[in-house]
Amino acid sequence: MLHILRHRANQTASDDLPYVGVAAWTTNSSPSTLLASIRRAVSGPERKELIALPESQHEVEMIGSDLPRPNTILLGASATETNFKRLPLSQYNVVHLALFGYVDPEFPDRSALVFAPQQQPTDDSLLQVREIRNLRLNANLVTLSACNTGVGPVGEEGVANIVNAFIEAGSQSVVSTLWELEDHATTHLMTVFYEHLGVTRKRRRL
């Protein structure tokens, strides 16, 4: 990864490239989900019923308000793997994905981010490591607002995880997690992070 980033250092990205935010799991499955601590993790890709992440919509919208326009936001049923892949991903400077994360320690290429299901699916809603590597990105920042996205087995070439897949796809930097995330606390952390990032960007322009 260090070798890739060093050879990419001479590439420049425009500050005017927009932001894309994705929050698929925005609808409450039942009122009781608001009473418990909601975590952005799944135990396996076979799990069909996923509880809502009610704070994720607010998260991606607030972040969009702190970053330059224009921006693209995929919410709820529109936040499918297919719709995400159809975007001009190479044009986005910031990619923020508020989703469920799945880690497969035995077969790390199957680790994935879980998008919204489709009624007539052309994709399986799992953006797996092996698929992420084939994305064409030019982002200064990819933020993985999901559980355990920095986790993976360590091999001769480093950690096999979702983070390194996004770097191989073209991202200059990736914000990831090493643990499970609680929905409300994560939204607060992410909005504060981007608020400070916005202030830093403005100071550099002065």
Q: Enter the tokens of residue 205.
A: 């322009």
Which pLDDT tens digits describe the chain residue by residue (206 residues)? 566 666 665 554 444 568 999 999 998 544 333 334 456 666 665 555 578 898 999 999 999 998 888 899 999 999 999 999 999 999 999 999 999 999 998 899 999 999 998 877 788 999 999 999 999 999 999 999 999 899 888 876 677 899 999 999 999 999 999 988 899 999 999 999 998 886 555 544 43
Q: What are the angstrom distances between the C-alpha of 147 and each of 8, 87, 153, 175, 180?
A: 28, 24, 16, 12, 4
Question: pTM of the predicted model, to two decimals?
Answer: 0.82
Q: Enter the tokens of residue 109.
A: 């290429």
157: which DSSP letter?
T
Q: Which fold has domain 2-8+18-205?
A: Rossmann fold (3.40.50)
CA distance 3 to 47: 37
Q: Enter the tokens of residue 11.
A: 């590439």
Domain definitions of the chain by residue range: 2-8+18-205
CA distance 167 to 172: 6
